[in-house]
């Protein structure tokens, strides 16, 4: 809804390889393709800059800047990113997606808490779940300390195998934490190849994985960008409803 303030969605997880860069680029492009927002842009805050290149490959007319925040000497980037975030927030119809580095330092984490939602891709494997849970707890503690409902914590189950029924286990893993579980994205050879091939709107829409991505984008639009989560949290109706994905 364009009359609402600009929204910042930060893709984060201290674990590398969970899908932060891939999903932040695909979600940015798909939000842009809805033609519903004044401005959609991506900031790559990882020093590797892989999402700058990836987004270019998906769509060459979406603004993407590189502000790596992982090192001490990137202090200036942290300040500039903070400024960009507050500018985005002031303007209605703006959406700013941030791809963040693995293992962000405390300053990086504090910067993330200034976003409207932290989107956390995570597979249902023991390599990723425990680190993700620790991260969720850390953000939750920070939120409790500043007594805020933001950032919302949205976990996106990623790289899920089609033929296995893992989602329930996944949801119960995060039980008792203030997170929302979004729709899952299955393991997809298309996504694996997105780093090496040229893809555009027409190609992506023909892929079977498109419906997963579409569900995630619709979910983020409805609950995060159009503020349904804000309404749920502020009315406190289902504060502990962890699986809002089933409401879509
Ligand atoms: N749903 C998926 N299916 C298959 N491969 C995926 C999926 N999501 C991510 N990947 C692959 O996982 C790897 C790591 O993804 P990436 O986005 O670079 O992670 P991060 O930014 O968290 O380090 C990439 O090779 C990417 O293609
Ligand atoms: Mg990355």
Distance 150 CA to ligand 1 centre (A): 26
| 2 has a pLDDT exceeding 60 | no
State the pLDDT at residue 193.
85
Higher pLDDT, 104 or 194: 104
Q: Using the mean position of ligand 2's atoms as its centre, give its distance from the Cα of residue 173 in Å.
A: 24
pLDDT at 176 over 60: yes
Q: Is residue 2 part of a domain?
A: no
What CATH number is given to the structural domain containing 197? 3.40.50.300
Detail the DSSP E strand segments found in the chain.
Answer: 7-11, 39-44, 64-66, 94-99, 117-122, 152-157, 180-181
Greater model confidence, 153 or 243: 153
In a domain, 14, yes or no: yes
Exposed e or buried b for every residue in 62-85, given b needs 16+ CB within 10 A?
bebebbbbbeeebeebbeebeebb
Instruction: For residue 28, give its domain range.
Output: 7-247
Q: Could you tell me the pTM of the whole model?
A: 0.94
24-28, 56-60, 161-165, 197-201: which range is least confident on average?
161-165
- Looking at residue 240, its pLDDT comes to 53
How many domains are there within the chain? 1
Q: In the prediction, which pLDDT does 1 show?
A: 44
Output the CA 44–ligand 1 centroid distance in Å.
15
72 in a structural domain: yes
Cβ–ligand 1 distance for 187 under 6 Å, the answer: yes
In ligand 1, the atom with minimum distance to the C-alpha of 187 is 3
* pLDDT per residue as tens digits for the range 181-239: 999 999 999 998 877 777 778 888 888 899 999 999 999 999 999 999 999 988 865 55
Q: What is the mean pLDDT of residues 115-144?
A: 95
- Contact 156 CB / ligand 1 (< 6 Å): no
Share of the chain above pLDDT 90, in %: 69
Flag whether 1 is in a domain. Answer: no
Helix axes 20-33, 50-58, angle to 10 degrees: 40
CB-based contact 68:46 (threshold 8 Å): yes
Residue 150 placed within a domain: yes
Q: Residue 200: its pLDDT value, please?
A: 77
pLDDT of residue 218: 98
- Per the CB < 8 A criterion, the answer to whether 158 and 184 are in contact is yes
Confidence (pLDDT) at 199: 74
User: Atom 14, ligand 1: which residue's CA is nearest?
Assistant: 17
What is the distance between the alpha carbons of residues 56 and 51, in angstroms, rounded to a whole number?
8
In whole angstroms, give the CA distance from residue 66 to residue 48: 9
Give me the pLDDT at residue 175, please: 86
Percentage of residues in the chain having pLDDT higher than 70: 92
Mean pLDDT score of the chain: 89
């Amino acid at each position: 809804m364009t009359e609402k303030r600009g929204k910042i969605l930060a893709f984060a997880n201290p674990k590398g390889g969970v899908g932060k860069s891939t999903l932040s680029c695909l979600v940015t492009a798909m939000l842009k393709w809805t033609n519903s927002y004044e401005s959609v842009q991506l900031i790559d805050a990882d020093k590797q800059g892989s999402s700058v290149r990836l987004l270019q490959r998906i769509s060459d007319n979406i603004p993407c800047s590189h502000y790596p925040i992982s090192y001490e000497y990137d202090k200036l980037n942290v300040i500039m990113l903070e400024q960009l975030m507050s500018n985005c927030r002031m303007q209605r119809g703006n959406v700013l997606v941030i791809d963040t580095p693995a293992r962000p330092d405390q300053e990086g984490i504090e910067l993330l808490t200034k976003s409207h939602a932290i989107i956390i891709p995570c597979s249902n494997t023991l390599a990723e779940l425990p680190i993700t849970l620790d991260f969720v707890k850390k953000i939750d503690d920070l939120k409790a300390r500043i007594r805020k409902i933001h950032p919302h914590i949205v976990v996106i189950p990623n790289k899920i195998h089609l033929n296995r029924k893992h989602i329930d286990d996944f949801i119960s893993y995060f039980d008792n934490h203030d997170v929302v579980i979004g729709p899952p994205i299955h393991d997809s050879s298309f996504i694996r190849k997105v780093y090496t091939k040229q893809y555009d709107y027409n190609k992506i829409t023909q892929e079977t994985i498109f419906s997963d991505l579409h569900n995630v984008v619709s979910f983020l639009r409805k609950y995060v960008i159009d503020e349904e989560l804000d309404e749920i949290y502020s009315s406190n109706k289902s504060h502990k409803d962890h699986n809002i994905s089933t409401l879509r």
